[in-house]
Chains A and B, each alone.
Chain A
Amino acid sequence: MEWEPVIGLEIHAQLKTRSKIFSGTSTAFGAAPNTQASAVDLGLPGVLPVLNAEAVRMATMLGIAIDAEVAGRSVFARKNYFYPDLPKGYQISQYELPIVARGHLDITLGDGTTKRVGVTRAHLEEDAGKSLHEDFHGMTGIDLNRAGTPLLEIVSEPDLRSAAEAVAYMKRLHALVRYLGICDGNMQEGSFRCDANVSVRPRGREAFGTRAEIKNLNSFRFIERAINHEIERQIDLIEGGGTMIQETRLYDPERDETRPMRTKEEANDYRYFPDPDLLPVEIDRAFIEEVRATLPELPDAKAARFESAYALAAAEAAVLTGSRELADYYETAVEHSGGQAKLCANWVTGELAAALNRSERNIDDCPVGPRALGGLVARIHDGTISGKIAKQVFEAMWAGEGDADAVIESRGLRQVTDSGAIEGMVDEVIAANPEQVEQFRAGRDKVLGFFVGQVMKASGGKANPKQVNELLRKKLAG
């Protein structure tokens, strides 16, 4: 039987506010334990929450960007459960009336087609603290610095049909929240986390199968592997005559498998009810329009502009707009290259991307800045150096030897265009290789390549290849 996976994602994006969602405590990452846990975050007796305006603005930005309804009235509710990293014994979240509902996101599939993925809702809530399981004499340590950090939980429709689609969706959303500047997207630090609901059904059947929820997916690689693993597990289980049970599973990246969470499977009864410490949040049209006016250019619009303004292929434009930082880098490089858009695109997606990859760096800590790269491309275009020498110059720039002009100067890599000098080298090479001259004259055109190579070698790669070619043809014909 052919099986079809059905996948929906719940993504938690930490919002990049300065202070927490319900208190004036800093959200900065990495502070000593519990030094960023104020009376409100600790849930001391008598404290009360007051909502951060910036969290509301950021949620509104996302709502607009995914073409969703931003609710005129949304309500905070309490989700009640006991856990040591949840100081109040309830999480302030949104339940019946979320701030954002019914949006969508378009993803590009492997075959180049586009698929629209529904976003059911996005709601504001507070993050929990962290449990540290290192051994404190058999005890667990609780750090509440993260408690109260604003989260936007973005819930997709079960529209995804493969692990690859799930990853494409997640990457798209990741790019979007970073474009919007509402989340730093740092997956190692947990700023962007994902739970996946996965089920399988016989292809053609409409009803969904029983799903499992996979928690704790904090890299794109893990998500793909975990979902694929889970799909296989479910198919094996069902084909082996077993029955799926609805459960929560944890992905273990070390063993590359999912396993049921060990918490006793009591039915969770969260006893949601409207939080009486908070009043309904109202958002009017004027506010939405005000936020809309401040939205940056979003990935789709930017890619379309790149295609037309820089005459790029769709695939190239998609890569270059994959993140706001990369797109900004590219545009700055083009500006400093004298408008060499195509050549800049080749360099950014080629040499630069490879170098970043090799050194495991991100574009924002790239040792060769966009102005410098643009300068290098300009020197290729004006013939100061060849494309081949340019790679050498790039490596030197990467190593910190200065900008393109400085490297070309200090290493003496300026292309030789003096026809007298080139002619001398051509003459020497012809004189030294009589046998090959014969072959060429006998009609073996390929030998020209040999001569070009010899002349370039003699020039240390600096001779203008076009001039070398022309001169050789003239002289050898003579």
Chain B
Amino acid sequence: MASEDEDYFLPPEQQRPFSSGIRRKRVQFVRSSDLDTTTAPTTSSSSGTSIADKYLSIVMSQPAPNSSPNTPTQHAPSSPPIRTHSAPPASDVIPPPPTAPAPEYCDVCKLPIPSQLPGDTTDQRARHEASLAHQICLTHSHPPSHLDRTRTGLRYLSTYGWDPDSRLGLGALGREGIREPIKPRVKRDTAGLGTGLDRDGDPLPPRPAPPVKVQKLNSKQARNKAAEDKKRAERIRKAFYQNDEVSKYLGEGV
């Protein structure tokens, strides 16, 4: 119950954008190289090309590693780094070279870390840790609890070892209770139980909105509306993009 309501009481201006809690430090991305395109043979992918390749390999009864004109190795350098790990299409058709040493596996994301090549100066481990696949597998640090830290009640609970950010309720170890109070819902009509649900108790799709009546404006109204829209757009633009330093430099009027 609590999980769906975690952020319920956070006022919107305090809610942080998704994934801002993953790492406090900004995640650096690097451009991918050819080497990064290989992953463990266990990770299968369902991308269209690889399935086609596999099919062909069965039907044609001969390996067709580079038969596809669209091998990922060709376009990988130009693609954004995110795709390096999520789209390794040729993986199950290209067996790792038999001479290569057994790859080292990352403890966190269970993906192989490419071995350091003699001529390469970049740290492969650091590069791996910066990859999105690794970042996603890291344990999340959650946004802190919304409770006001100055409350005396919280101080009391803290002295007995309760941590508001622990995401645990009160109670004996392993039997913790609810984290948020039960939310009261005021019912002010006599609608029966389950109205708004279908026969199986699933929510009904929202009713299509009634067609909007087209309103005809006279020229004055149209002018006013255009001015209003413009003002609004300006306000929004300022709220998002205004930079204090720039406006100071350019003067208030701009």
Asked if A pairs with B, the answer is no
Give A residues with C-beta under 8 Å from B: none
Give B residues with C-beta under 8 Å from A: none
